[in-house]
A and B are shown apart, each in its own frame.
Chain A
Amino acid sequence: MPELEHKMHIGDLSLFYDGFKALEDINMKVYCRRITALIGPSGCGKSSLLRCLNRMNDLVEGARVEGRIELDGEDIYAVGCDLTHLRRRVGMVFQKPNPFPMSIFDNVAYGPRLEGRKGRGDLEEIVERSLRRAALWDEVKDKLKQSALALSGGQQQRLCIARVLAVQPEVILLDEPCSALDPISTQRIEDLLAELKDSYTIVIVTHNMQQAARVSDFTAFLTIENQGEPGRLVEYGETEEIFTRPRDPRTENYITGRFG
């Protein structure tokens, strides 16, 4: 693996939901301005791992983490870590597009407003910049006041990306962002991700192996051996390596479609 600057470092991470161990001893680095894909069969804990990266798992009652996750060298699970600040630096896009039941403008302005930015001109500028960045501006510029829920699924998902971009995060986490979308919308999101990686560090969970192969620079393969066992990281490396010369037979079986 080349010597690249890393943005996040996951060290000996285990995740528990009450007594159940969902992840065990995960070690990996997330590289700056690259797209990292997390793949693996259902229930292997890839979404859980993603949700550890901005502590969304804190919302699950009984969730507990061991090990460390560093963002620019600082442990995000350290006592006194400002969750609000963390989640602004590490934004998240969810599986199902989830725009707020508000206008398109208010959706994008939600994050900046939380930071206390209230000026109309200021907000308008942020909203336009974010929507342009999310490749949605041309489609919605004349209807910013309309409800976001009137948009198509693909547009809603790009709106959710714009909403995250508006708070100027450093890392963007995407949890199967295309699983509810049609192929054309999916392609748009993928094109968008390719553009965004110039400025952002991106981690994407996907069920779709072609998608991982198409968009990502690095791929992590997670799996569970048996039901009830924790998810483990089997192999992590450059996407091309993983897909053409997997070192672990389990990875090979998975990507060639023999199980999962």
Chain B
Amino acid sequence: MNPKTADRLASAVLWMLGGITLAALIFVVAQILIRGLATALNPSFFLGRPRAFQEGGGVLPMLVSSIYLAVWTLVIALPVSLGAAIYLAEFARTGSKAAAAVRFCADSLASLPSIVFGLFGMTFFVIYLRWGTCLLAGACTLALLNLPVLMRSAEESMRAVPATYREASLGLGAGRWRTVRQVVIPSAMPGILAGTVLTVGRILGESASLIFVMMLVTRKTPSFNPLSNAAPLASNIWYTQTEAIIPDYRRVVDGGAALLLLLVLAVNLAARSLGKAYSRRKGVKTANA
């Protein structure tokens, strides 16, 4: 085969593979939107209260729990993962055994199925710590679940910050911590934000591990007590589909799925504009952004 034909063949195959990926994505998104978009955009759905035994219920408490759960999870997971990432990227010596151990654990944890985290959360937070099933136990479980990915993505973003920035800062007499705070983290912020947004998506979509640590009660009104039980949107979809006794369960499931999709999209867009605003304020224009 001559080089020209080989190139053509390769680009045709790669184009096709790209096309397949895109088609699969479009298919799923289109399915969800076709079935549920009308419901999801109906205020009586996303601002309405759920009903039992009768049609026309909404999902406001679930929507609120989803967001609330994501907030708590990030509040717990972000400081820990950022701290660990700073240690790994900036303070650990190359070839440090401790750093290698942390990375190995994180990578192992990242490949565990979420249901295992659910079981751990149940035995540890719910039973051993006697919290009982509650949103906080759910948030802690999800924090553990997302810790590795958050940490590694933050670490990678910090590693991508050019060494010359650090040299410049240290050369001006800044200490290491000052350099990390004022130069490395601001430069790595776009990457850290991207990792965080991915995590938010995972939190919003997670249901399996929550089955064990939260009672998926159908609340009539939103609750902001982290020690109370609640059903986030994703869990509610699963629950409604399998067990709920409402005649229009299909509507609630499809609408819930579409609402979830829109929520993730909204978080994505919000993070993007947040990142842009941040860059503008700082005058940051990083190479890896």
**Which A residues form the contact surface with B (CB < 8 A)?**
54, 56, 59, 61, 83-88, 91-92, 94, 96, 98-104, 106, 110-111, 114-115, 145-150, 160, 163-164, 167
Would you list the 10 A-B pairs with minimal beta carbon distance, nearest first?
Answer: A103-B283, A98-B164, A88-B173, A92-B171, A147-B283, A87-B173, A111-B172, A84-B173, A101-B284, A147-B285
Given the known inter-chain contacts A114-B174, A167-B173, please indicate yes or no for A102 contacting B284, CB distance below 8 A. yes
Asked, given contacts A59-B167, A94-B168, A100-B169, whether A84 binds B284 with beta carbons under 8 Å apart, the answer is no
Contact size class for B? 20 to 34
Binding site for A on B (CB under 8 A): 93-94, 162, 164-175, 178, 182-183, 186-187, 282-286
| A–B Cβ pairs within 8 angstroms, 27 of them | A56-B167, A61-B93, A61-B94, A84-B174, A85-B173, A87-B172, A92-B171, A94-B164, A94-B171, A98-B162, A98-B165, A98-B167, A101-B186, A101-B283, A101-B285, A103-B283, A106-B283, A110-B169, A110-B174, A110-B182, A111-B173, A114-B178, A145-B283, A146-B283, A149-B285, A160-B168, A164-B171
Residues of B within 8 A of A96 (CB): 164
Q: Which residues of B contact A111 (CB under 8 A)?
A: 172-173
Q: In the bound complex, how far is the Cα of B171 from the Cα of A99, in angstroms? A: 12
Instruction: Looking at the assembled complex, report how far the CB atom of A102 sits from the nearest CB atom of chain B, in whole angstroms.
Output: 5
Chain A residue, CB-CB nearest to B284 = A101
* Contact residue among B169, B172, B182, B183 (Cβ-Cβ distance under 8 Å from A91): B172
B182 / chain A contacts, CB cutoff of 8 Å: 110
Q: Are B171 and A100 in contact (CB under 8 A)?
A: no
Choose from B94, B172, B183 the contact partner of A88 (Cβ within 8 Å). Answer: B172
Given contacts A94-B168, A98-B165, A98-B168, contact A150 B175 (CB under 8 A): no
Which residue from chain A places its CB closest to the CB of B178 in the assembled complex? A114
Taken together as a complex, chains A and B put the C-alpha atoms of A104 and B285 apart, in Å, by 12
Cβ 8 A contact of A101, one of B165, B166, B170, B175: B165
Which A residues are in CB contact (< 8 Å) with B169?
100, 110
The answer for the CA separation of A13 and B178 in the assembled complex, in Å, is 31
Q: Which of B164, B183, B283, B286 is the most central at the interface, judged by chain A CB atoms within 10 Å of its CB?
A: B283
Across the interface, which residues of A come within 8 angstroms of B178, CB to CB?
A: 114
With A83-B173, A147-B283 known, 7 other A-B pairs at CB within 8 A are: A59-B167, A87-B170, A98-B162, A98-B167, A101-B283, A146-B283, A149-B285
- For B282, list chain A residues within 8 Å (CB): 101-103, 106
> Contact at B94–A167, with CB atoms within 8 Å?
no
Q: How far is the CA of A147 from the CA of B285 in the complex (A)?
A: 7
Alpha-carbon separation in the docked complex, A248 to B175 (Å): 43
Are B172 and A114 in contact, CB atoms less than 8 angstroms apart?
A: yes
Shortest Cβ gap from A15 to chain B (Å): 18
Contact check, A56 vs B171: say whether CB atoms are below 8 A apart: yes
Cβ–Cβ < 8 Å partners of A59 in chain B: 166-167, 170
Contacts of A99 in B (CB 8 A): 168
Q: How far does the alpha carbon of A82 sit from the alpha carbon of B109 in the complex, in Å?
A: 42
Checking B171, B172, B174, B283 against A148 with a beta-carbon cut-off of 8 angstroms, the contacting residue is B283
Closest to A164 in B: B172
**Chain B, residue nearest A86 (CB):** B173
Interface pair A91/B171, CB less than 8 Å apart: yes
Contacts of B183 in A (CB 8 A): 100
Cα distance, A230 to B187, chains bound together (Å): 37
A147 close to B170 (CB less than 8 A): no
